[in-house]
Each structure stands twice: as C-alpha cells, then as structure tokens.
C-alpha cells in the first residue's frame, strides 16, 4: 500500500467487474438473427468451436460478423443490424454491487476512466449497455476485443486504451476479475492491477496484483491512497 500512488486514470473490465452476467444464451441470440430453425444448434456449436480456436491465440471474433459470413440470408445485412437483434436475446447484465458508487467517486475526484472488455460484441453495443446501467457518462470510451481483433491478455487492447487516455501505464490502475486475461495482460504492460476475487487465488499471477473481495474493499483502498496524497500535498 505504501508504494501505491493515486491513479491518473483507471481502466475497468466490463463482464463480472462493472456488470454481472445473469444470463448468457448463445442459441437464443442466433435464433434472433436467423429465426427459429433446425440450424441454430449447429451454428452455435460451430461458433463455439471457432471461438475456442481463436481464443487460444488471443484472437477475437465478432458474433454478428461471423453470422453474416456463415448464414447466406444475412450476407447483405449490416453487422450492426445483426448485432442489434442478437445482443438483447443473448445476455442479461446487472450492475455489480457497489461499482457505480466507486465510479462516481473517481469521477468526482477528476480521475479519467475507460472500459476494455473481452467480448464477441462491438464497443458500440457494450457502450449502450453501460449507458443503460448509468456507467456511460463516466467513461471516456469503451474498447471491445471484437473491434480490436485481439483479446486480453494480448497487449494491443491495453495499448490502444493507454494511447487514447494519453497517460503512461505506470499512472493507471486496472480492475478486472480474471488472472489469465485481466491480470496477466495488465501487469505485463505495467499497470497497477486489482483483481476482484472473493477468495485469493493460489497462483503465481496473484503476486502481480492486489486482491479485492468486492467494490467496497476497492473503495477503501482508493480512499486511503487519496487521503494520504492529500495530506502530503
């Protein structure tokens, strides 16, 4: 804690960090795009297989773009239009307890924030969802791996975020919920990492981050750092 400096900016993961996933139904999303048909299970299985293959190399696929390429009836439809139908059918999300209060406090202190997410959906789609959940006005931007073509822990998604923020990695805090993607990627590029985890994982990567059980615990850490900085100035 003694070496922790106040952040110039904070990068936030989306899924199970800012927003908690309550439901994910790939088949329902595909059905919303192609209609109820016998092809839906086969398409879902094929997408899962392609996704797994790409994820091994930290590549990302856009579900809507994939459907456009693999379903002849969708070939002339825009990716945005397909995604607009797919998204609400696939997933239900809710704000993580305590997250909005922390984001509001950071914003009031002048800390810039942005979100980066591993997702098979565009940043436009994620931005609308975050806006619906009242986070949108606090975020300078949202970057999705589906737009970048690379997913965490690949450094590209972090580099793009830092470039848009215009700050050095050493001045940025990052908050996420996975070791292999969030912490591994953020630590490798030099961010100060916080892992949201109810139980501290027994993994070497855990040494690269600060474990916080929930947003309230993160809030306490931030308040301590901010107070110490204020007293020193």
Taking 50 as the threshold, does the pLDDT of residue 40 lie above it?
A: yes
pLDDT for the residue numbered 230? 79
Mean pLDDT, the chain, rounded, equals 95
Interval 121-167: pLDDT, tens: 999 999 999 999 999 999 999 999 999 999 999 999 999 999 999 99
Phi, psi of 46, rounded to the nearest 5 degrees: -65, -40
Report yes or no: 12 and 115 within 8 Å, Cβ to Cβ: yes
Taking 70 as the threshold, does the pLDDT of residue 3 lie above it?
A: no
Residue whose C-alpha is closest to residue 106's, from 38, 24, 6, 191: 6
Please indicate, yes or no, whether the overall pTM of this predicted structure exceeds 0.85. Answer: yes
Q: Name the CATH superfamily housing domain 9-18+96-232.
A: HAD superfamily/HAD-like (3.40.50.1000)
Out of 9-23, 172-186, 218-232, pick the least confident: 218-232
Phi, psi of 126, rounded to the nearest 5 degrees: -65, -40
Domain residue ranges of the chain, discontinuous segments joined by + = 9-18+96-232, 24-91
How far apart CA 65 and CA 52 sit, in angstroms, is: 16
């Amino acid at each position: 804690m003694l070496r922790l400096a106040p952040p110039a900016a904070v990068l936030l993961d989306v899924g199970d960090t800012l927003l908690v996933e309550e439901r994910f139904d790939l088949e329902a999303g595909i059905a919303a795009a192609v209609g109820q048909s016998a092809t839906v299970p086969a398409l879902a299985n094929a997408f899962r297989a392609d996704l797994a293959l790409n994820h091994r190399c930290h590549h990302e696929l856009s579900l809507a773009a994939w459907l456009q390429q693999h379903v002849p009836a969708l070939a002339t439809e825009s990716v945005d239009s397909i995604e607009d139908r797919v998204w609400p059918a696939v997933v239900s999300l809710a704000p993580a307890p305590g997250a909005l209060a922390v984001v509001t406090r950071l914003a009031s202190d002048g800390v810039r924030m942005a979100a980066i997410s591993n997702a098979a959906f565009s940043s436009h789609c994620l931005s609308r969802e975050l806006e619906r959940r009242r986070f949108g006005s606090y975020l300078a931007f949202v970057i999705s791996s589906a737009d970048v073509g690379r997913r965490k822990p690949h450094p590209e998604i972090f580099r793009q975020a830092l470039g848009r923020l215009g700050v050095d990695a050493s001045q940025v805090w990052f908050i996420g919920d996975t070791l292999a993607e969030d912490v591994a990627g953020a630590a490798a590029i030099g961010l100060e990492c916080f892992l949201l985890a109810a139980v501290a994982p027994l993994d070497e990567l855990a040494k690269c981050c600060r474990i916080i059980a929930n947003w309230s615990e993160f809030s306490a850490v931030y308040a301590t750092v901010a107070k110490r900085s204020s007293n020193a100035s």
